[in-house]
């Protein structure tokens, strides 16, 4: 990881609802600049609330050497069926966090 911060928090994995209609939880790590903090679990709603309070989130992917590579900015999308966290700006009625690893 490079020395500058990417965001307040980095999302490194996701957990989907059993019907795969939405993300229920994510694995986040604090971005400390020179390194990422240990993984913690956060609900989708807590990420939405943090973004509403001005916190920033990006995705990151573990590389073969064990380091993380920065992914995309995470944002909140409002739809008629609720608020979702996404890495793109379309309004598909499901969460999209750009193909991060999943956990059960």
CA 38 to chain centre: 15
Reported pTM: 0.89
Find the largest Cα–Cα distance for the chain: 42
* pLDDT score at 93: 59
19-23, 43-47, 61-65, 83-87: least confident range: 19-23
Domain ranges of the chain: 9-86
pLDDT digit string, tens, across residues 11-58 = 999 998 888 778 899 999 999 998 999 999 999 999 999 999 999 999
Q: How confident is the model at residue 95 (pLDDT cuts 50, 70, 90)?
A: low
2-6, 25-29, 36-40, 94-98: least confident range: 94-98
User: Average pLDDT of the chain?
Assistant: 88
Terminal CA-to-CA distance of the chain, rounded, Å?
27
CA 49 to chain centre: 13
**Can you point out the beta strands (E) in 1-104?**
9-16, 23-30, 40-43, 57-62, 68-73, 75-79, 82-86
10-14, 28-32, 64-68, 93-97: least confident range: 93-97
Asked whether 60 and 6 are in contact (CB, 8 A), the reply is yes
């Amino acid at each position: 990881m490079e020395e500058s911060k990417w965001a307040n928090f980095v999302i490194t994995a996701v957990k989907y609802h059993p019907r795969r209609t939405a993300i229920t939880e994510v694995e986040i790590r604090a971005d400390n600049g020179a390194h990422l903090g240990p993984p913690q679990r956060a609900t989708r709603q807590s990420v939405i609330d943090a973004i509403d309070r001005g916190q920033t989130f990006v995705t990151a992917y573990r590389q073969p050497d064990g380091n993380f590579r920065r992914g995309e900015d995470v944002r909140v999308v409002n739809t008629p069926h609720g608020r979702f966290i996404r890495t793109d700006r379309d309004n598909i009625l499901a969460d999209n966090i750009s193909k991060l690893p999943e956990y059960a």
